[in-house]
A and B are shown apart, each in its own frame.
Chain A
Amino acid sequence: MLDDARIKELEEKVAKSKEIFKQAYDRFKPEEMRLIWSGGKDSTLATWICRQFCEENNLSMPKAFTIDEGDAFEEIDEILHTYEKEWDLQLDWGRNDDVLEAAGHTLNADVEVSKLNERNQAEIKRIGFDLQKFPFEAESYVGNHLMKTVVFNTYLEDNGVKAVFQGLRWDEQPARTKDEYFEDVDAAELTPAHTRYRPILHFTERDIWDATHHFDIPYCPLYEQGYRSLGAKTTSTKTCDIPAWEQDLENTVERAGRRQDKEAAMERLRKLGYM
């Protein structure tokens, strides 16, 4: 059980998040905004706070958006489907069907670049690759770009989305420590201009679990099995077999499995001139 001081601290953190939602609502209409909701612990908390904020202020909820990379945990899908109904959300699903079809919906299958549509081909060039084919796998840099970034950008463009809420946190990994509560992203080649709000940046992993339990927020059962962070099914790994919140959160690394590592490694190699 949490003591009163801790509960007060969590309530203050939730209040801080609501301020960020307020800033976004002051600038954008609900239909221009989207909650990025992966079904993981962080974006679920952000979604829960957003609902409270909207109820308290008699505002309508933004739609939620989730990306299906073709390698999702069934348990995550179930959370999304269950709480879409229970919380009366409108949830849009984004997918790169062109790549999925070219890969025959099979992980590790080779994708022939020439069989992809123009947009996907242009994206591959844009990130600096000159490939004939690439393996369709969650760990592949190209695959990740096509299945996530491209889907995200295309969705923003097609739906006139001007702002998104992301469930990122400062303590997730060192690369995040400079993130700000909101960031205006300028339009660039194949990227529409938009604003990113990060209402739960100040929550630590410990805060997430304490808040989730204290406020009775739903969470995916995989965390109970030992997963700390959920990404693609084939690349997320358990850190150990005890529930995430019972692990040594303060002294060990939260990682979404190998994809994050691979991205970091590929980025380094690229900077050294190997990509």
Chain B
Amino acid sequence: MDKKNVILLTLDTLRKDVLGCYGSDAGLTPFIDSLCEKSIRFTRCQAIAPYTQASFPGLLTSSYYLDQDDHGKGKTLSPARVMISESLSKNGIVTAAFHSNPYLCDLFGWNRGWRMFYDSMEAEVSDEVPYIKGGEINKKVDAWLGSHAGSGDYERFFLWAHYMDIHEPYVPSKEHVDKVDSSINLSPQEMFALFKDVILPRDASNPETVALLRKLYMAHTIEVDEYTKEFFSILESRGVLKDSVVIVTADHGDEFGEHGGLSHDGKMFSELIDVPLLVYAEGTTAQNCDALVSGVDIPPTIAQLFGLKPAQAFQGTPLLPLADYPQKGCFGEAMGKKGRQKETDRPVYYYRENDLKIIYEEEPDTWHLYDLAEDPAEKKNIIDSAPAAGEMKEKLKPRIERSR
């Protein structure tokens, strides 16, 4: 994959299992599915955390959430973390970012190292759509590409774009809802009321309501597939697609009652941790990679694609060439929050190796172990019976000790 540019497209809150290319038969994502023809499809990519502010340190700084004392409300990204944008811009690569996630805004220090940084924080947003929609992000990307790469003879760049549209409140358009289930006739106000009355209190008690929320989520997934299609057509029309590697992934998934909750709180189960990862480049033939990889591997991969040595601070491993990627386990960590993070929240950690996943919650002091091959839904905690439990605990313990 010897290309001039690298583009990272991150889709907030996108579960792996709603994508056709990861086994869904709901037909929500024809465009993303079609990318697989020219992509390496990573079948077992893990988010390093179940929510944005804990996961993005992996995706953009190749570090873990609890590595630095910069987690928690209103704190600024520690300078000890090296952003991929900083590392690249030091090496003369043009960097540009377009997103609308307030956790990643300039106030919290995520603007470091970008030549162009758009975080939308000055735009006005509504309660129902509290972010800039993917279509607007695309327009900004298009305008920037026009000014940067319009002439054909341009400096190579790293572009990061991020769509918020799947994130709650789920208030999809009627057109998208109809594609999922045309019998749903909810007004935007009614959908927003579900956010207030059901999602915010994390009330997963009514299976019908949870199923309805899931359908609204799926409608947003269709919408994001359309933005992704438009994004690629912009790259094409601006003449940069053929010269770019495009990485498509998500920061975390979303829960629909699988473990008693809704949204994405401090849990480490697959509905939140399993994310898609496609590495697309024209001229590539479809292939799969079953290695266990995670968000921290993205920044070193980007550096490597530019022919640079990954920054020393990066903790992940370049994904390419695939043959060199080591067989290893992967870690994740977050605060065990529910909704808003509080000072009393305690950390939660996971370590996965092959099909075994161990989870440790500090509050209450609890270990879980799941065999994902036999129990993909993570319903049967085998911590007291599995012979590997002791060994798995030992592997996770150093992570737990270090942030105590």
- Contact surface of A with B, Cβ cutoff 8 Å: 133, 139-140, 173-175, 253, 258, 261-262, 264-266, 268-269, 271-275
B130, A175: Cβ atoms under 8 Å?
Answer: no
B residues within 8 A CB of A274? 339-341
B107, A140: Cβ atoms under 8 Å?
Answer: no
B107, A271: Cβ atoms under 8 Å?
Answer: no
Give chain A nearest CB distance to B188 CB in angstroms. Answer: 14
B339, A261: Cβ atoms under 8 Å?
Answer: no
Contact with A along B211-228 (1 / 0, CB 8 A): 000000000000000000
- Is B199 among interface residues, defined by CB-CB distance under 8 A? yes
- Is B350 among interface residues, defined by CB-CB distance under 8 A? no
CB closest residue in chain A, given B105: A265
B340, A271: Cβ atoms under 8 Å?
Answer: no
CB closest residue in chain B, given A272: B130
Give chain B nearest CB distance to A237 CB in angstroms. Answer: 12
B residues within 8 A CB of A139? 74
Select the stretch in B55-63, B121-129, B142-150 that faces chain A: B121-129
Give 12 new A-B contacts, CB below 8 A, not counting A264-B102, A274-B339. A133-B343, A174-B123, A174-B124, A258-B107, A261-B105, A262-B107, A264-B122, A265-B102, A268-B125, A271-B125, A271-B130, A271-B169
CA distance A258 to B339 in the complex (A): 25
Contact with A along B161-179 (1 / 0, CB 8 A): 0000001110000000000
CB closest residue in chain A, given B337: A274
A residues within 8 A CB of B199? 273
CB closest residue in chain A, given B122: A174
A residues within 8 A CB of B169? 271-273
Main secondary structure of the interface of A (DSSP, over half): helix
CB closest residue in chain B, given A135: B74
Of the residues B107, B123, B127, B339, contact of A265 by C-beta under 8 Å: B107
A residues within 8 A CB of B122? 173-174, 253, 264
Give chain B nearest CB distance to A143 CB in angstroms. Answer: 11
The count of chain B contact residues (Cβ–Cβ below 8 Å) is 26
B residues within 8 A CB of A275? 340
- Is B269 among interface residues, defined by CB-CB distance under 8 A? no
CB closest residue in chain B, given A275: B340
A273, B168: Cβ atoms under 8 Å?
Answer: yes
Most chain B beta-carbon contacts within 10 A, residue among A139, A140, A271? A271
Q: Assuming A140-B74, A174-B123, is B340 touching A272 (CB within 8 A)? A: no
B residues within 8 A CB of A265? 102, 105, 107-108, 121
- Is B317 among interface residues, defined by CB-CB distance under 8 A? no
Of the residues B121, B167, B168, contact of A264 by C-beta under 8 Å: B121
Contact with A along B329-367 (1 / 0, CB 8 A): 000000000011101000000000000000000000000
A residues within 8 A CB of B107? 258, 261-262, 265
Instruction: Offer 8 A-B interface pairs, CB within 8 angstroms, sorted by A.
Output: A253-B122, A261-B105, A264-B121, A271-B169, A272-B131, A273-B169, A273-B195, A273-B199
Most chain B beta-carbon contacts within 10 A, residue among A139, A140, A264? A264
CA distance A261 to B200 in the complex (A): 25
- Is B294 among interface residues, defined by CB-CB distance under 8 A? no
Give chain A nearest CB distance to B54 CB in angstroms. Answer: 13
CB closest residue in chain A, given B51: A274
Give chain A nearest CB distance to B58 CB in angstroms. Answer: 20
Give chain A nearest CB distance to B271 CB in angstroms. Answer: 17
Most chain B beta-carbon contacts within 10 A, residue among A175, A258, A265, A273? A273
A residues within 8 A CB of B17? none
CB closest residue in chain A, given B127: A271
CA distance A261 to B121 in the complex (A): 8
CB closest residue in chain A, given B200: A273
CA distance A272 to B263 in the complex (A): 11
CA distance A268 to B106 in the complex (A): 14
B340, A268: Cβ atoms under 8 Å?
Answer: no
Give chain A nearest CB distance to B379 CB in angstroms. Answer: 27
CA distance A175 to B168 in the complex (A): 23
Give chain A nearest CB distance to B250 CB in angstroms. Answer: 16
CA distance A274 to B266 in the complex (A): 13
A175, B124: Cβ atoms under 8 Å?
Answer: yes
Give chain B nearest CB distance to A269 CB in angstroms. Answer: 5
Give chain A nearest CB distance to B238 CB in angstroms. Answer: 25
B168, A272: Cβ atoms under 8 Å?
Answer: yes
CA distance A269 to B52 in the complex (A): 11
CB closest residue in chain A, given B129: A271
Give chain A nearest CB distance to B102 CB in angstroms. Answer: 4
Most chain A beta-carbon contacts within 10 A, residue among B167, B168, B340? B340
Of the residues B106, B127, B340, B341, contact of A261 by C-beta under 8 Å: B106
- Is B103 among interface residues, defined by CB-CB distance under 8 A? yes
Give chain B nearest CB distance to A134 CB in angstroms. Answer: 10
A residues within 8 A CB of B123? 174
B residues within 8 A CB of A271? 125, 127, 130, 169
Top 6 nearest A-B pairs by Cβ distance?
Answer: A271-B130, A268-B102, A261-B107, A265-B102, A269-B102, A264-B121
Give chain A nearest CB distance to B66 CB in angstroms. Answer: 19
CA distance A258 to B107 in the complex (A): 7
CA distance A274 to B164 in the complex (A): 14
B residues within 8 A CB of A261? 105-107, 121
CA distance A150 to B188 in the complex (A): 33
A273, B102: Cβ atoms under 8 Å?
Answer: no
A residues within 8 A CB of B200? 273
A residues within 8 A CB of B105? 261, 265
B residues within 8 A CB of A266? 74, 102
B168, A268: Cβ atoms under 8 Å?
Answer: no
CA distance A140 to B340 in the complex (A): 15
CB closest residue in chain A, given B199: A273
CA distance A140 to B127 in the complex (A): 21
Interface residues in B196-245 by Cβ distance below 8 A to A read 199-200
CB closest residue in chain B, given A176: B124
CA distance A272 to B254 in the complex (A): 14
A residues within 8 A CB of B167? 272
A residues within 8 A CB of B168? 272-273
